Amino acid sequence: MPHPIRFDQTDAVGVITLDNPPVNAFSLSQRIGVSEAITAGLQDPTIQAFVICGSGRMFSAGADIREFDTGVAAESPTLSDLISLIEDSPKPVVCAMHGTALGGSCELSLACHSRVAVVGSRIGLPEVTLGIVPGAGGTQRLPRLIGVLPALDAIVSGKPMTAEKAHELGLVDNLADDLDDLLELSVSVAHRLSSQHEPPIKTRDRDSHLREAQNGSELFDNFRSQISRRARGFEAPFACVDCVEAATTMPFEQGLAFERETFLRCRSSNQSLAQRHAFFAEREVRKVRGLRAETSQIELKCAAVVGCGTMGSGIAMCFANAGIPVIVTESKQDMLDRGMEMIRQNYTSTVSKGRMSGDEAEARLALIKPTLEFERVSEADVVIEAAFEDMELKKKIFRDLDTLCKTDAILATNTSSLNVNAIAAATQRPEQVVGTHFFSPANIMRLVEIVRGDHSSPEVLSTILNLTKRLGKVGVVVGVCDSFAANRMLYPYSRQAQFLIEEGAFPEQVDKVIYDFGFPMGPFALSDLAGIDVGWRIRQHREPNRPKHLRYSDIADQLYKMGRYGQKTGKGWYQYEEGSRTPIPDSEGLDLIIRTSRELGIDRREISEEEILQRCMYPLINEGARILEEGIAQRASDLDIVWLYGFGFPRYRGGPMFYADSIGLKNVYEAMQGFYEIHRDWLEPAPLLERLAREDRTFAEWDRE
């Protein structure tokens, strides 16, 4: 097999081009190719310097993640071997970056003797998002180039920086205006370096930046406490801090060895296995049964959103943020004004936090065109209906859209639970109707459930899948059923949480268990944030369909009747001081719970944290098994993505189905069976869960069937 690189010579410069589509990942073959090219060039007197660049749309995505579980990553030459060969080269090596230069490829650039990048390209060390630390010298070289604090920010956040920012910090030495300039500029830099008499300076020998942190561990301890809340329970961020600290306290070789040892420990951890699962699961969701890569796309140049309430205004922002002009319609001026005011406030807040310039916010606002003229939907290539959750209203809107819109326009509904087939049947174009269930706040949450109607065409599905990526979202295709996948799994979780407080637990105990598990907040704090009144309204159209023999907790309804809607009224499951979002248990709420238990004839009991966690998590997993069995979701890993991006399931646990596999489905099934024997009701184990448990198999194996 030829190695996926090209080796050309321009004047006295050896140009090594990475050519390993789709992302020039540093597989063993690419490492061998680059290593052989450099070794040959070092022995060639006509070559005075090297340039390393990438072909295709990027420099490189870094090490080949797929090799982590195969041992190939450790085969020589390792990335570290290659990086040492480059850094110790007596002939200068210049790195020419475009598109993205991430992970190990960024680490390789740090060992080069100069770095050139095209403006706008993104450079970084995202290893922490895979539950590892940079393992090829990044934690030792980056602080030597840009300073300790900027290196800590880049490595612990895992967020890439633009080439311009990298240039400002000293990571990039020269900026190229565009790809055409990149090679020429890089070759000229290589020439200049090779004409110098002294050997090129090695990054490993640049220690000046390290001195700012060599007066004790205060800087690092402060950084650890800064990240302690957000990174709680997640090991890799703290391991990254340890490695950067080692760069300031140990000689280079010792620091490198410390990093290597830490990298290997993290890479074999369950947290990293979970995050690598999440990485590939997020790419698997784009591979939808019945859609081929060559499925044609419908060009979307203009969008329209029907309804400018909380969801409609957030969805409109998604289009504007992606640079897509969007018409927003409402039925009344005051509602349109209120929606536009919400949008303006969102942008103002983003600008005030320094996350966007005022000009950028104005440019995005200018793309949003509010109107009372419903007919203007005729200008749109895709329409997202975000009206009130009422079937008759939605059917009427879709009949009107069917009449007014372009013949090939896509008509999407943002319904969170209603039957998309019934909505599609209100039109003459059911093949162009699909559900796009955004999650609130729509401009922030990345999950979109793409609800595939019986007649939704492959072209429409494929177009909407690509649209979600263009909007910076993660689209997961699900089938038509009540509440699709996300909320259908959320209900058993919330329901059991409420039964637990009838049986003896209190909201803050349940919330603490779920918070400590790694969620941003527990079910009761979440309910107070979203609004108990919102939950009440949803139950008004859901609960009549509930089989009557299944129990129901009415504590939330009682809170609603007491006007305790949550944060918005200062009281809900908890009470809130003026201007504070901190939930505080209050006697009225606790009395209501105790009174309800008494009226139900329940002797309240001590409930363990383990039972709380299992009674909340396992019914959610159990419902996921039913969703898979019914074909509503294509993969268990799709459901993991739903929970990672829809509800903040801790990424270092991989998602509910991966978590269940890590526990063992036999254990999950037996616990569910035990709960069912006591509580009957909603806790009957799903047949698929029972079958996989009995066969000692995993959801991951079921996905691969």
Q: Is 127 an active-site residue? A: yes
Residue 126 or 150: the one with the smaller Cβ distance to ligand T1G is 126
Q: What order of strands is seen across the sheet that includes strand 100-102?
A: 100-102, 122-124, 161-162
Decide whether 22 or 90 has the Cβ nearer to ligand T1G: 22
**Shortest CB 4 distance to ligand T1G, Å:** 13
Quick one: which of 323, 326, 309, 321 has its CA closest to 350? Answer: 321
Q: Note whether 135 binds ligand T1G by CB under 6 A.
A: yes
Q: Which of 53, 61, 316, 328 binds ligand T1G (CB under 6 A)?
A: 61
Shortest Cβ distance from residue 138 to ligand T1G (Å)? 6
Per DSSP, the three-state class of 91 is: coil
Q: Does 134 bind ligand T1G (CB under 6 A)?
A: yes
| Both structure tokens of 430 | 């059911």
Q: Is 107 a catalytic residue?
A: yes
| Residue in this structure with the two tokens 């060639």, named with its chain if needed | 44
Stretch that binds ligand T1G, among 60-68, 217-225, 524-532, 537-545 (CB under 6 A): 60-68
How many C-beta atoms surround the C-beta of residue 224 within 10 A? 18
- Does residue number 104 form part of the binding site for ligand T1G (CB under 6 A)? yes
For 563, the token pair is 């006007």
| Residue with nearest beta carbon to ligand T1G | 103
Instruction: Quote the least distance from Cβ 126 to ligand T1G, whole Å.
Output: 4
The residue annotated as part of the active site, out of 67, 75, 87, 107, is 107
| Per-residue contact string for residues 64-83; x = within reach of ligand T1G by CB under 6 A | xxx------------x----
3-state SS, one letter per residue, for 18-29: ECCCCCCCECHH
Which residue in 191, 154, 193 sits closest to 170, CA to CA?
A: 154
Applying CB under 6 A, the site for ligand T1G has a residue count of 24
Residues 557, 527: contact at Cβ < 8 Å?
Answer: no
Determine which helix (DSSP H) or strand (DSSP E) holds 52, and give its type and residue range.
strand 49-54
Q: Are 112 and 91 in contact (CB under 8 A)?
A: no
List 36, 75, 87, 127, catalytic entry? 127
**For strand 474-478 and strand 447-451, is the pairing parallel, antiparallel, or unpaired?**
parallel
Instruction: Decide if residue 102 touches ligand T1G (CB under 6 A).
Output: yes
Joined together, the tokens standing for residue 141 give 């070289």
Q: Does 62 bind ligand T1G (CB under 6 A)?
A: yes
Instruction: Based on the shown chain and the rule CB under 6 A, indicate whether residue 136 belongs to the binding site for ligand T1G.
Output: yes
Q: Which range binds ligand T1G by CB under 6 A, 95-103, 196-204, 351-359, 631-639?
A: 95-103
Q: Which is nearer to ligand T1G, 466 or 569 (CB)?
A: 466
DSSP state of 9: E
Return the closest-CA partner of residue 108 out of 70, 152, 59. 59
Nearest distance, CB of residue 417 and ligand T1G, angstroms: 31
- Tell me if 100 contacts ligand T1G by CB under 6 A: yes
Which residues, 266 to 285, sit near ligand T1G by CB under 6 A? 280, 283
As measured in angstroms, the least distance from the Cβ of 1 to ligand T1G is: 17
Is there binding between residue 63 and ligand T1G (CB under 6 A)?
Answer: yes
Is the separation of the CB atoms in 591 and 512 below 8 Å?
Answer: no
In the chain, how many H helices and how many E strands? Answer: 29, 17
Q: How many whole angstroms separate alpha carbon 420 and alpha carbon 440?
A: 20
d(CA 206, CA 222): 25
- Taking residues 16 to 35 in sequence order and writing x for each that binds ligand T1G by CB under 6 A, - otherwise, the string is ------xx-x----------
Please count the other Cβ atoms lying within 10 Å of the Cβ belonging to residue 598: 11
Least CB distance to ligand T1G at residue 275 (A): 10
Nearest to 501 by CA among 482, 481, 523: 523
- Selected from 130, 343, 420, 426, the binder of ligand T1G by CB under 6 A is 130
Q: Does 126 bind ligand T1G (CB under 6 A)?
A: yes
Residues annotated as catalytic (active site), given as ranges? 107, 127
- Binding residues (CB under 6 A) for ligand T1G: these are 22-23, 25, 61-66, 79, 100, 102-104, 107, 126-127, 130, 134-136, 138, 280, 283
